[in-house]
């Protein structure tokens, strides 16, 4: 894989970005965490001592990006797959993974969850594809990794029947090279309960809870955890309230350097080596087309159309591209077509009265009464553009 430093300004500001890749030969016993840039969704790959663990799988439409990550890192066998909680932006790739050729030793999920029958739990359904079962985790469980590493389960401690985010699996990974705190979409209620229980301790890397919104990652927690590096998995085009400026300020106040997945190419990689600050690199996939730039959208909910504008310098091929409605939770794969540089294409439905260039098979897609966002993905599961219907929540 090609990896390069991010912006020179960041290098000068932080001194923490590496100027070259951490290769297979020079990484030694380093622990590596790879975080996909796939919009407001979580998918991370932990690599340590020839073992590989997946933490969440993004949306269904992110599967091509997840599959590409596994292929690029040469992962054909996962020692474990963790689902932090039952939300589409964390569970969506489970079924495609279960149907793939990638071997999986264990499927993990928190024993505490709400709002879904056990038989319909996404981890149960995915593991059942292979006639396997889920290992249910609870606070105090420990999963060994390599010769000196382990995931220690901190929470959840009790069920939240109002917000599944607060049933997130919270884990600390530690090894001889460093430590990482994984928080899923933990918000303030679960965080408070874990603080009261004295569950937190210092960690070199923090995966920030709930995409960096303002209802997570409190000052009190950060005072205990004291991370050197924080990673926030989000895209402000898709979720404008993230990352919250208040969250970024709290992280900065404890001397933590924050990295946001949307600012990287295909992924960001964090390398942990004993005695060193975490090293962050920008990851660009080999032999994969570069993510198209200068693509924008406009939605006409009244006429049920979505217009794609190509303001870039190259033709945009729609083969394999996908459009997602956040309100309807509907995903559509676009028919083959191209959009010339400087051109546009109108996508309609069966409800579209005025003309369109291509039509989806659906009767109606875009909501006229409630906030609805359109997210446009390329064939590799990467976000190219977002828009909404102009309605506020």
**Averaged pLDDT, groups of 10, the chain, 393 residues long:** 42 34 48 98 98 98 98 98 98 98 98 95 98 98 98 98 97 98 98 98 97 95 98 96 96 98 98 96 96 97 97 96 96 96 97 94 96 98 97 85
- Taken in order of first residue, the domains within the chain and their CATH numbers are 2-284 (3.60.15.10), 295-388 (2.60.40.1260)
pLDDT at 21: 34
CB-facing half-sphere around the CA of 167: CA atoms within 13 A: 19
Determine the Cα–Cα distance for residues 292 and 316; give it in Å rounded to an integer.
Answer: 7
Q: Which tokens in the block code for residue 8?
A: 């020179």
pTM for the full model? 0.92
CA distances from 346 to 219, 321, 360, 371 (A): 47, 14, 11, 21
Q: How far is CA 142 from the centre of its chain?
A: 24
What's the confidence (pLDDT) of residue 1? 67
Greatest CA separation for the chain:
64
Determine the Cα–Cα distance for residues 212 and 291; give it in Å rounded to an integer.
24
Q: How far apart are CA 271 and CA 296, in angstroms?
A: 34
Three-state SS annotation for 68-130: HHHHHCCCCEECEEECCCCCHHHHCCHHHHHHCCCEECCEEEECCCCCCCHHHCHHHHHHHCC
Q: In the prediction, which pLDDT does 354 show?
A: 86
Instruction: Tell me how far apart the alpha carbons of residues 273 and 26 are, in angstroms, rounded to a whole number.
Output: 11
């Amino acid at each position: 894989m090609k990896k390069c430093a991010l912006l020179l300004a960041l290098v000068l500001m932080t001194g923490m970005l590496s100027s070259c890749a951490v290769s297979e030969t020079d990484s030694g016993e380093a622990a590596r965490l790879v975080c996909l840039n796939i919009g407001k969704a979580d998918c991370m790959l932990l690599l340590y001592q020839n073992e590989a663990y997946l933490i969440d799988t993004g949306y269904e439409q992110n599967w091509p990006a997840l599959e590409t990550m596994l292929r690029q890192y040469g992962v054909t066998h996962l020692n474990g797959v963790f689902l932090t909680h039952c939300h589409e932006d964390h569970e969506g790739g489970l079924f495609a993974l279960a149907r793939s050729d990638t071997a999986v030793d264990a499927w993990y999920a928190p024993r505490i969850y709400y709002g879904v029958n056990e038989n319909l739990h996404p981890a149960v359904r995915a593991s059942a594809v292979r006639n396997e079962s889920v290992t249910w985790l609870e606070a105090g469980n420990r999963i060994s990794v390599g010769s000196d590493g382990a995931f220690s389960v901190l929470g959840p401690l009790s069920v939240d029947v109002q917000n599944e985010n607060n049933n997130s699996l919270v884990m600390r990974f530690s090894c001889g090279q460093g430590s990482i705190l994984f928080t899923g979409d933990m918000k303030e209620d679960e965080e408070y309960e874990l603080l009261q229980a004295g569950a937190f301790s210092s960690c070199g890397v923090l995966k920030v809870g709930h995409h960096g919104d303002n209802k997570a990652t409190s000052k009190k927690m950060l005072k205990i955890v004291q991370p050197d590096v924080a990673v926030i998995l989000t895209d402000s085009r898709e979720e404008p309230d993230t990352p919250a400026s208040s969250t970024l300020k709290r992280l900065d106040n404890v001397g933590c350097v924050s990295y946001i997945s949307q600012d990287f190419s295909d992924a960001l990689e964090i390398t942990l080596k004993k005695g060193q600050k975490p090293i962050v690199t920008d990851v660009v996939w080999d032999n994969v087309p570069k993510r198209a730039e200068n693509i924008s959208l406009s939605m006409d909910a009244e006429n049920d159309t979505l217009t794609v504008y190509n303001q870039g310098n190259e033709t945009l091929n729609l083969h394999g591209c996908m459009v997602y409605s956040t309100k309807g939770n509907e995903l559509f794969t676009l028919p083959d077509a191209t959009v010339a540089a400087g051109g546009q294409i109108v996508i309609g439905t069966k409800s579209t009265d005025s003309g369109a260039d291509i039509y989806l098979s659906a009767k109606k897609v875009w909501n006229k009464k409630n906030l609805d966002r359109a997210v446009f993905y390329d064939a590799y599961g990467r976000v190219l553009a977002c828009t909404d219907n102009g309605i506020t929540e």
